[in-house]
Structure 1
């Protein structure tokens, strides 16, 4: 193979930073975490390995680890790609073409999520879990972001995204508490999903109950799935429309720091 046959650059239209981030997230998920955890258990008493092992387990309730960031990072990356993939549709007054694409992607992702974690292929109604997987969260975040991206100005997108986050905060703050059993998102999931919620167990007499250890919420938390995906949309817009890559990087860094500080301050009232 000669030098001319070797690609000298990223294929046109690809966002290299997003490809790298996506690869890193998948690497963490399917390879590094299981391999590292199996390896590091032999030195779990060592302070360094003990700390690192904790980063590859979900925090039971308050706080977060590196492993808790893998799922929302997928949502963020989906949003980052949307300003680029939606470009040809935004100027088209006929929105049916893009809505067919959005609907198809939403349905496929939701069904795949039901297959992966919802026991759909078991064909057993008692085992069916309606809303329980990251793919379904991506589907919902994608749908919300697509509607905002197609029909609102950038200012309108910012306003609605803020309202979604503020609305979620208000519902959790004023209609419950921040305990595992008392938070409003938990109550909504139990009321809407019922026995089709993930974590439900059945007794021999056919009665069922909610698990005391399952604390993931989905229905009300869909508001936050939309917010996380929109954060990616805004990052994608900065990268797409900003003329200077260095300034884009600086702006993303500053916004990231501001958001981290804001989240830290809010955590004194709303636990992470």
Structure 2
């Protein structure tokens, strides 16, 4: 997944000055790092614990770090949309700040489009490497590509519309997507068919996307299902605008995020009865469900870190969050498992079966974190 402009710190134990707009958020980098922790190997700790112990308890937790085959939700499904949500949160602090400095909307639009283009290209590299291959074998849809496209449209809407219209666009995309999939289908299927073969979004991807789809007839990062993902980015932007707002106490901001998050979760469960929560299709109920959880996590991190001022515990995650793009794409260029075995293989042998795999999973994360910490100390960050 990709990083947008990093936003790092305000918030202290001092009383909130409601007339001063915060310029940076330590909590946003920490939450981004928390999100990326699971991508960089955190989930493997639970998978190895389940394997080593054979415990149903650890097995149940490990199952949450897998994706459902189709409908349903596991915690692992949150990682991608939470990252896109946070990319939106950073917009008022990055793009908004440039507007305040006098940059024109046209200049910023060009910058946003360039960023989207770079993310799409990086997504191609992550999917296919640097090998030359026939177009028919290239997978064009990608996680980074979706982030880039959704981020681009959400930011353009931010640049050219007021907050109220941004809310209208948020609902427009997810309600329109719901109605479209409810009253259409792939040829030969009844309207509203939401199976992998029969749904309209997958059918359109089969028609429009060149190259290969991840699952042959469907791609979870397909072009058509990027439409509701724009709303995920817009929700982040609206949240970022709230957090940046002057004249509003911090605790009030926390309350608004918390209450809105709970309401979103309730709406998601109701909508799920007609339009199932499904990451593969990025359904509207999925947007509401992950949006609700994202708001609650943002409220929690913001309250603990920026309101109460407890920051030291989050430094581990901040180091990860400051270089999120780099750690996501690094596996294409660095043999992390080889490096881990080289440094800590002796420790795995010392521990022995069955817990050696758990120890090596922890060491795998440690090696990556030390690398990121070194870059953090050198103030070296990969930006897009």
Same fold flag (TM > 0.5): yes
Matched, 1:250 2:260: no
Q: Which of 53, 74, 83 is the matching residue for 2:92? A: 83
**What SS is found at the alignment partner of 1:181?**
coil
Task: State the partner residue of 2:265.
Answer: 260
Q: Which of 147, 154, 159 is the matching residue for 2:168? A: 159
Structure 1 residue 60: Cα displacement: 0.4
Contact (CA 8 Å) 2:84, 2:147: kept in 1 or not?
Answer: yes
CA–CA distance in structure 2, aligned partners of residues 96 and 221 of structure 1: 28
Deviation digits for residues 152-173 of structure 1 (CA, Å, limit 9, x no counterpart): 1111111111111111111111
Trace 1:164-179 onto structure 2 (pairs within 5 A). Answer: 164-176=173-185, 177-179=193-195
Q: Which of 215, 227, 232 is the matching residue for 2:236? A: 232
Matched, 1:145 2:150: no
Trace 1:7-18 onto structure 2 (pairs within 5 A). Answer: 10=9, 13-18=23-28
CA–CA distance in structure 2, aligned partners of residues 199 and 217 of structure 1: 8
Deviation digits for residues 117-169 of structure 1 (CA, Å, limit 9, x no counterpart): 1x2621101421112x2111110111111111010111111111111111111
Trace 1:50-199 onto structure 2 (pairs within 5 A). Answer: 50-90=59-99, 92=102, 94-117=104-127, 119=128, 121-125=130-134, 126-131=136-141, 133-176=142-185, 177-194=193-210, 196-199=211-214
**What SS is found at the alignment partner of 2:78?**
helix
Contact (CA 8 Å) 1:164, 1:223: kept in 2 or not?
Answer: yes
C-alpha change, 1:64 and 1:249, in structure 2 (3 Å) is same
**What SS is found at the alignment partner of 1:225?**
helix
Task: State the partner residue of 2:41.
Answer: 31
Task: State the partner residue of 2:226.
Answer: 222
Query: What is the root-mean-square deviation of aligned Cα atoms in Å?
Result: 1.9
User: Which segments of 5 or more consecutive residues in structure 1 lack a partner in the other structure?
Assistant: 1-8, 201-209
Deviation digits for residues 192-244 of structure 1 (CA, Å, limit 9, x no counterpart): 115x13337xxxxxxxxx35xx5515211111110111111111111110521
TM-score w.r.t. the length of structure 2 is 0.62
TM-score w.r.t. the length of structure 1 is 0.86
CA–CA distance in structure 2, aligned partners of residues 70 and 93 of structure 1: 33
Contact (CA 8 Å) 1:189, 1:220: kept in 2 or not?
Answer: yes
Deviation digits for residues 15-49 of structure 1 (CA, Å, limit 9, x no counterpart): 112111101011111021123312321224x2311
Task: State the partner residue of 1:204.
Answer: none
**What SS is found at the alignment partner of 2:41?**
helix
CA–CA distance in structure 2, aligned partners of residues 239 and 224 of structure 1: 23
Task: State the partner residue of 2:245.
Answer: 241
C-alpha change, 1:241 and 1:235, in structure 2 (3 Å) is same
CA–CA distance in structure 1, aligned partners of residues 275 and 221 of structure 2: 16
Higher relative contact order (CA 8 A, sep 6+): 2
User: Which segments of 5 or more consecutive residues in structure 2 lack a partner in the other structure?
Assistant: 1-7, 11-21, 186-192, 278-384
Contact (CA 8 Å) 1:109, 1:139: kept in 2 or not?
Answer: yes
CA–CA distance in structure 1, aligned partners of residues 180 and 23 of structure 2: 41
